[in-house]
Amino acid sequence: MLLSYLKIAWKVLLRRKFFTFISLFGISFTLMILLVLYAMFDFTVGPQMPEKRLSRLLFISQLALLGQGGELGDSPPSYSFLERYVRPLRTPEKVSINTLGGTTVAYVGNQKLKLDHKYTDAEFWQVLDFDFLEGRPYTAPEVKAAAHVAVLSESGARNYFGTARGVVGRTIVTDELSYRVVGVVRDVPAARTYSYAEVWQPITTSTQDIRDPSYQGPCMAILLAHSAADAPTVQREFAQVVSRIPVPKEEGWHIDKVQIYAGSLLSTTVRDVFDNTGPDDGVAQFLAIISGLGLLFMLLPALNLVNINVSRILDRSSEIGVRKAFGATSDALIWQFLIENLFLTLLGGILGLGLAAGALHLLNSSGLIAHTQFSINSRIFLSALGAILLFGLLSGVYPAYKMSKLHVVQALKGGTNV
């Protein structure tokens, strides 16, 4: 029966080629836009290298000082604050402290080269999962000794040395200081803002005063829980620690409370983008808005497809009348039309996947976001199938119901009254 329905669906599509083209274009274009946006979203906050163990990772990147009149100011926390109140946490497996990033200057001959860099501790390489092309990360003893060693990205090594291979042991000079290269890693996409850099150096070699006792500074922390189930436990322990943090005394400020949270990559990204330091990270509202806009974007072409499907019913009223006269039930007609419509949306979905893959390739080739390679992974593919199914149901239920209610006599006469 299913095979017969599919054969009928194919013949119906070929019968009205213009309507078929309009339908396929609307479906494929809509799906392409949704998939490209979802691929960018997934690549930014999904489980990608080096934040591969995303369900176990928590990030701390914003600290706010509150007074009676509200928020007095917010910024990243300082190294000393994180050392005092985050490093001693007992529930995480590992705690890493690093700077949020900056730019360092190097010279290749007479050419000035700006490299994105980040200062980190040794735990940074244990919390995150980098793909080392050669060499190794710097170690805890090297960080403690403030050794001038560095890890380069593939592109960073190529820009400075002209090659990404065979550079371990060589010297790179940044900001007029010499560092020995100990490792080279595969490029990290610039979209992964908490791990991205072209040069990583021990945090103890930073030119900033990392022992400054101020609460606010240029750093962040990344926490690795023992398991995904332990992540809430880590958050609760940190919340308890924060509740006992002494209020700093700043001249001219009356500070009542220190507010800082540990959250997932998505939660922390939403907080940073919208400068949100409150208890509600805003993720639920953000996802609700995104989902609503996506549904609305799908609904408009779905309504257009409904109108086209209703027009198809007018053309097929005689066929429907004959089938009902020979005993076809309303349920059988509904299933037939839904299968036909799902077949159409599946064809449009396949075209949409192809268009999305092409659009992502163009984005990758443009270099708009450094070292970024958007792709359609299994999560995006499954989401595409879900969107195709939803699109098919949205645009097919009402026409199928209307078709099933046609009276035999009026259908045979080509009428549409139910």
Q: What is the DSSP string of 258-305?
A: EEE--B-HHHHHHHHHTT--SSS-SHHHHHHHHHHHHHHHHHHHHHHH
pLDDT number for residue 207: 79
pLDDT number for residue 417: 46
Burial class (CB in 10 A: 0-12, 13-18, 19+), 331: exposed
What one-character DSSP code corresponds to residue 139? P
Contact between 69 and 229 (Cβ < 8 Å): no
pLDDT number for residue 416: 46
Contact between 117 and 218 (Cβ < 8 Å): no
Q: Max Cα separation, the chain?
A: 92
Contact between 245 and 63 (Cβ < 8 Å): no
Dig out the tokens for 342 from the structure.
């799902």
**CA–CA dist 394, 296 (Å, integer):** 12
Beta pairing partners, 119: 201
Dig out the tokens for 232 from the structure.
């809430």
**CA–CA dist 295, 285 (Å, integer):** 15
**CA–CA dist 61, 101 (Å, integer):** 12
CA torsion angle for 35, 40, 45, 49 (degrees, to 10)? 110
**CA–CA dist 147, 170 (Å, integer):** 15
Percent helix, strand and coil across the chain, each to the nearest 5: 50, 20, 30
Short-list 93, 100, 97, CA closest to 231: 93
Beta-strand runs (E) in 35-127: 57-60, 63-67, 70-75, 94-99, 102-108, 111-120
pLDDT number for residue 361: 86
**CA–CA dist 415, 404 (Å, integer):** 13
In the chain, where are the structural domains located? 2-47+285-412, 63-260
Contact between 157 and 169 (Cβ < 8 Å): no
Contact between 127 and 94 (Cβ < 8 Å): yes
Helix/strand/coil for 210: coil
Contact between 64 and 247 (Cβ < 8 Å): no
**CA–CA dist 231, 228 (Å, integer):** 5
Token pair 């000082």: residue: 65
Mean pLDDT per 10-residue segment, the chain (418 residues): 57 61 76 86 87 95 82 84 96 96 90 94 97 97 96 96 95 94 94 94 87 89 97 96 86 78 94 85 88 79 70 64 64 72 80 88 79 80 80 71 60 49
**CA–CA dist 123, 138 (Å, integer):** 10
